[in-house]
């Protein structure tokens, strides 16, 4: 059974850092692009950052550029989201997703999703 399991969320203060992890199991994800999405209450799920399957090119939205960094360790089948200088507006549930080959900035076409991890940033 294929699973994506996120961890690392929590309650922090503005300016703090968190590192989210997404551990994949059940198959190899070497040929999958991996992405992080977030969903705040009353809002659609939105792309935050992603990393292509090869050669590992990273993408992120303007709102997190320079603060969040996505990376992957294929040997560990794990993707990370390093979140620095957190702001209250970053508060959301963060989801990890996997898509065969091509990264997508929308939620369409992702093959696997994690259950989400809550990030809450207080002011």
Q: What is the pLDDT of residues 48-105, one digit of tens each?
A: 999 998 888 999 999 999 999 999 999 999 999 999 999 999 999 999 999 998 889 9
| CA dist., res. 121 & res. 60, Å (int) | 20
Compute how many other C-beta atoms are within 10 angstroms of the C-beta atom of residue 96. 28
Say yes or no to pLDDT of 115 above 90: yes
Quick one: CA dihedral 101, 105, 109, 114, positive or negative?
A: positive
């Amino acid at each position: 059974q294929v699973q994506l399991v996120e961890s690392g969320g929590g309650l922090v203060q503005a300016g703090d850092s968190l590192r989210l992890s997404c551990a994949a199991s059940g198959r190899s994800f070497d040929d999958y692009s991996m992405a992080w999405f977030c969903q705040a209450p009353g809002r659609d799920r939105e792309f935050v950052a992603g990393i292509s399957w090869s050669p590992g090119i990273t993408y992120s939205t303007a709102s997190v550029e320079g603060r969040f960094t996505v990376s992957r360790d294929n040997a560990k089948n794990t993707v990370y989201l390093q979140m620095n200088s957190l702001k209250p507006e970053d508060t959301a549930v963060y989801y990890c997703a996997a898509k065969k080959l091509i990264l997508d900035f929308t939620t369409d076409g992702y093959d696997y999703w994690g259950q989400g991890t809550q990030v809450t940033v207080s002011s």
